[in-house]
């Protein structure tokens, strides 16, 4: 297996003799390997905060933690980083436990020739790349590259739990493009798809890095506003979105003018589920569309006693 660059391998091994032996063995191969040695799980984490190797080769016997715990923590911290366990333990149950913890493969010290070690490392890297590609297809919208509906729902659930636990605030924006259908009808789906890509780019450029934008389907998008101070903070974002999406788009030398109808829902004491928050944002979005489009509406529950629901329509200037 050929690589277009040298491989950076982080070896987590506290025994200097074992590291030197492995270093000498791997020097017999034709692939250029850059080996870096750390002795503890803590040093491994510190290293990963600064550098990203192509693969980790990890011993299970570490002075500061159980090696299986280290595998689990590294896998949770960096899901797509290849991890191969290199241990003196020949027990099959231990090997299976390492795989279950997240390791890509298991090698026994002193029993594997250099060519087989390198092949194992190479296969682990290729498998992890394939896993990352499959994972991306499952989590992200294939057209725009932003989160898809399933990822959005998972992120929203996690965010709602966290803000409830920390007693902070969050907001949810539903956004539907105005006059997108005429673009599709007049210029075709290819132009429509390219326009959606540009819309996603403008939305991403408008929101913060901590916020999550997703394409829910068609020309409908959602944005999770994490830890906002107030409803006003959400309306500021909505105004910016309406402004940026209201500017003309140049797609294949065609000047396209659309807009956006935006609905806002913020966390309140009466909202207990993701479905309730989504319903509020969705209803507010349709209210803004029905009232003339290219504006936003905030959903508010004004009368909790009889559950009468009312909208406060806030038209951007």
CA–CA distances in Å: residue 34 to residues 4, 37, 204: 14, 10, 37
Q: What are the residues whose beta carbons fall under 8 Å from the beta carbon of 3, sequence distance 6 or more?
A: 31, 122
Say how far apart CA 214 and CA 196 lie, in whole Å. Answer: 12
Q: Do 202 and 270 meet the contact criterion of CB atoms below 8 Å apart?
A: no
- Of 219, 269, 275, 282, catalytic: 219
Cα of 145 vs its chain's centroid, Å: 11
The DSSP code sequence of the chain is: ---SS-EEEEEE-S-HHHHHHHHHHHTTSSS-EEEEEE-SHHHHHHHHTT---SEEEE-SB-SSSBHHHHHHHHHHHSTTS-EEEEES---HHHHHHHHHHT-SEEEETTSS-HHHHHHHHHHHHHHHHHHHHHHHHHHB-TTT-SB-HHHHHHHHHHHHHHHHHHT--EEEEEEEEETHHHHHHHH-HHHHHHHHHHHHHHHHHHS-TTSEEEEEETTEEEEEEET-SSHHHHHHHHHHHHHHHTS-EEETTEEE--EEEEEEEE--TT--SHHHHHHHHHHHHHHHHHTTSSSEEEEEEEETTTTEEEEEEE---
Radius of gyration over every alpha carbon of the chain, rounded to an integer in angstroms: 26
Is 219 among the residues known to form the active site?
yes
- Residue 303: CB atoms within 10 Å: 9
The catalytic site residues sit at 219
């Amino acid at each position: 297996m050929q690589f277009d660059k040298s491989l950076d391998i982080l070896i987590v091994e506290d025994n200097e003799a074992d590291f030197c032996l492995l270093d000498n063995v791997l020097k017999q191969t034709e692939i250029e390997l850059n080996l870096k040695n750390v002795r503890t799980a803590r040093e491994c984490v510190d290293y990963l905060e600064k550098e990203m190797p192509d693969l980790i080769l990890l011993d299970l016997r570490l002075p500061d933690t159980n090696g299986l715990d280290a595998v689990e923590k590294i896998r949770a911290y960096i899901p797509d980083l290849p991890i191969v366990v290199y241990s003196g333990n020949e027990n099959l149950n231990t090997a299976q436990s390492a795989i279950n913890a997240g390791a890509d493969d298991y090698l026994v010290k002193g029993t594997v020739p250099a060519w087989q070690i390198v092949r194992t490392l190479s296969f682990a890297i290729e498998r992890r790349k394939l896993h990352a590609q499959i994972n991306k297809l499952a989590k992200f919208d294939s057209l725009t590259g932003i989160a898809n509906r399933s990822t959005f729902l998972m992120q929203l659930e996690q965010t709602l739990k966290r803000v409830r636990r920390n007693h902070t605030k969050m907001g949810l924006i539903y956004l539907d493009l105005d006059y997108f259908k005429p673009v599709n009808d007049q210029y075709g789906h290819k132009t429509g798809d390219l326009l959606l890509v540009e819309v996603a780019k403008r939305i991403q450029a408008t929101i913060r890095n901590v916020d999550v934008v997703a394409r829910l389907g068609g020309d409908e998008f959602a944005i999770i506003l994490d830890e906002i101070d107030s409803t006003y903070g959400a309306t500021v974002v909505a105004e910016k979105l309406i402004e940026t999406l209201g500017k003309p788009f140049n797609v294949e030398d065609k000047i396209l003018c659309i807009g956006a109808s935006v609905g806002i829902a913020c966390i309140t004491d009466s909202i207990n589920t993701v479905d309730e928050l989504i319903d509020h944002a969705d209803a507010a979005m349709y209210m803004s569309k029905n009232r003339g489009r290219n504006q936003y509406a905030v959903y508010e529950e004004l009368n909790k006693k009889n559950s009468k629901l009312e909208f406060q329509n806030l038209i951007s200037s």
